[in-house]
Amino acid sequence: MSENDGWSPPEGSWASSAARRRNMQAIRSRDTKPEQLVRRLLHAQGLRYRVAAKPLPGLRRTADVVFRPVKLAVFIDGCYWHGCPEHYVPPKTNPGYWSDKVARNMARDRDTDEQLQAAGWTVLRFWEHESPAACAARIAAEVEKRRARTRGADTA
């Protein structure tokens, strides 16, 4: 379909054009560049983890990186999709829909954090613009801290 083939978005559609629809559908929800960089650094440190996994079986949400034995869920949030206070810019096209979408994403993020924490998980969230090395260092430190805690409980 081209822009001039007579396609028009259905009433209430999120896409303002066929080209916009194709563009938005091509955006990755996993294996983004920031995620890959952080994962590569974690792997180089000898850490092993699950990728795009559900931390809790009954929770229909996935974390970007999951360390199940120590109950650590890591999310690397995109600045646009999760409403980064530094980089989010409201859209010019279909602003009502997209601003509401980002607000729903942010509310879902908070709910996810609360549900995981209630189940005894630690949640770490990073923005895509943060240094991958700093993110990986913080994650590795948390994994080690939680491993030491479980080792201490095993020996007590």
Predicted confidence (pLDDT) per residue in 104-128, tens digit = 999 999 999 999 999 999 999 999 9
Q: How far is it, in rounded angstroms, from Cα 30 to Cα 36?
A: 9
Quickly state the pLDDT bin for 2 (edges 50, 70, 90).
very low
User: What's this model's pTM, rounded to 2 decimal places?
Assistant: 0.81
Residue 40: is its pLDDT beyond 60? yes
Which position has the token pair 């609360």?
114
- Specify the CATH superfamily of domain 31-155: VSR Endonuclease (3.40.960.10)
DSSP result, 76-87 = EE-TTTTT-TTT
Residue 14: is its pLDDT beyond 60? no
Instruction: Please list the residue range(s) of the chain that carry CATH number 3.40.960.10.
Output: 31-155
Top pLDDT among 91 and 49 is at 49
Top pLDDT among 32 and 2 is at 32
